[in-house]
Structure 1
Amino acid sequence: MSFNKPKVEKRLSSLIDLAGRLDKKILSRELDLMITKWSDYRFLSPYEATNVFIAAYRNAFKSAVRTHCDIHEAANSRGIDLLALRKATRSTEFTQLWVARQNADSVGLPYDVYLQFCFDFAMRRKRRRLPRPNQLFWNKETQIAWKATFAEFMTDALNGGVLRPGALPQYRIETYRGLLAQELFRSTIIELTKKGNRPLRHIIEDRSLIKRQVPAELFSEVYGAYAFETAVRSLHQQIKHHPIQVDPYIAPDEVDLWQSCFAVPWARDTQGPICSVCPAAEGCGRLGNYVLSKIKRKYGTDDPIAEMEKTGARKRQARKRARDKVSGVNPSGTSTLHAGGASS
């Protein structure tokens, strides 16, 4: 597989820029979220995933306006001002959107499905306004009701066939490298098939032969040897008369196989259960260190947001001292002037 240089530069550049927009703690979450997020997003960079989430939020917002407010206003409803968001180097709304996307990743649903639940839940509680990105997830007041309602929603989604992973080339048998995202995808497919009622023969035909996502023998471990062998024999008979057309395959380049946590600043945990066994750990570590070095060179520090906050605090303190000096107030808060104007 080959490296697409422009794609490499774009991805690494986005990670470097994010260090000046988001706190360390926020970016460090990306490692654990790689495990919980919906499979279609596990090979997107965090920035790309956030853009997907923003598009989904805007669509969900319009739909909610149409359903709960005014159908005539829906066409002009945006929910988010993209132009202002792109212009701002660092903004509260961007941070809220990023955290909102992370919250969606933590529950493992496609963004459109997650947002449908969140908007419906909010409006059933008789909210006067549609929820902003930072109001989608549960809080202390809604935690119990939100989680209980979500559990019911998730059960219906699993049983109703709403959750259908995409056919990404990163999950093809030809591309398999033992990456955690690939292992989790296979587990997801098997779990979803167990929830459904399709015959095993059709499942093997679809997932193992047509889409080529899961080796057929893995289904034997779940359904048992007898059911598996019966399904395979039936398939062999079918193929004799009706050959199977395999979905086309275009091999992804090396960058496309970078998992969502790859080289993300402050996300690596070399001794942890994820990074310590990851086949991509060496390359991730090398480029992760490169990203950190570029961050320090660009911002003059290895923790830009903390430094910005310290600088802001010093400036605020300096302005306060200047105001106090003009008004004649000393650091203890008492006046330095007598009634007659003489210094004390």
Structure 2
Amino acid sequence: MGSVSLVHPWILYFCIAFLTCYVVLDLIANHSDLEFPDLLSCSSSSSVLLGNSNASGGNAVVDEPAVCRTLEGHLDIDLASLRQKHVDLNPQTVPSRQAEDPWRQMKWVGPAATCRVRGHLIERLDPALNFRRGFSLRFASDVEDKTHLLPWLLPSRVNLNNRRRRVYLDLGANAFSTSITWFLRMYPVDFTEMHAFEVDTHLLRKPEAGFNEGSNYAPPNQWSKMLKETAGVPSWMLSRIRVYNQFVSDGDDALQNAVNITRFMKEELSLKPEDTVVVKMDIEGSEWPILRRWMQDPDMSSIVDELFVEVHYDHPSMRGYHWARFSPTTREQALTLLADLRFHGFFVHAWP
């Protein structure tokens, strides 16, 4: 009678472990739509690590051209072309390859920039259209149209709502119905506090009463709701908004009623990298010294998650909006400033 050879227990353990790992890896690779950034970060030794965990909600790993580690990479356009007296956008007079370009023909939203910021895609700066794509191409009748910004907002890539403190600063707020209302309605963050600066006391005024959604419709029939008024801001949100009738400046000046906004953010608000901080800046030329200071300050690119800034300059196409007073600042300099901010780690958009 022949003897039966037994399989060593360690061989069985190895087979079970191997099959278990195979099943888990197959589920991850083929049957899951979850993302595993920690696994991906180890998958390629040639990847370039950009950004920081405070600013972007986690380290982002991307492969990018070496030029993206230079200011020129973020310019993303030939400066010489901007010096032409006229930029022809008529598809009948440009080369056929450009005429078939959907970004010229169809899209309100421009293409992505060549270089990411903090590891995330951002829109290509379009100075030939004065950074106002929809309006310049006559897609929108309003020069303040912001449609082109919506797909590039940082909260669409990073969860900025999971932080305890979520702060919005509106520097140059103008009327309550302009930028403040836009950020309340369109920006995908529930702000815990909003600080709005507008030196003209006749411009920025909060609504006296909050909006009540429950009483804002008349029930003529069961299939429709007829709005009585445009949806406004509820009382609980109005209580989060503080208004400052002061100039936003690079230095404190009591005689000029000016506040050093960098000091204000760091000392009075005590903003930290772990907070969500969104800044919109439209301060009629005063942005230049402030933003240059921010690029020299290593703290500010970590504190500010997303920045929207209207950079003012002199160009014939903008003189109808009284921008000649910003001479001798040029449109090329405005582009360079925005690119330099991105190079220094600011997730910045041209406003509007």
Q: TM-score, normalised by structure 1?
A: 0.25
Q: TM-score, normalised by structure 2?
A: 0.25
Between the two structures, name the one with larger relative contact order (CA 8 Å, sep ≥ 6).
1
Structure with more of its chain in helix, by fraction: 1
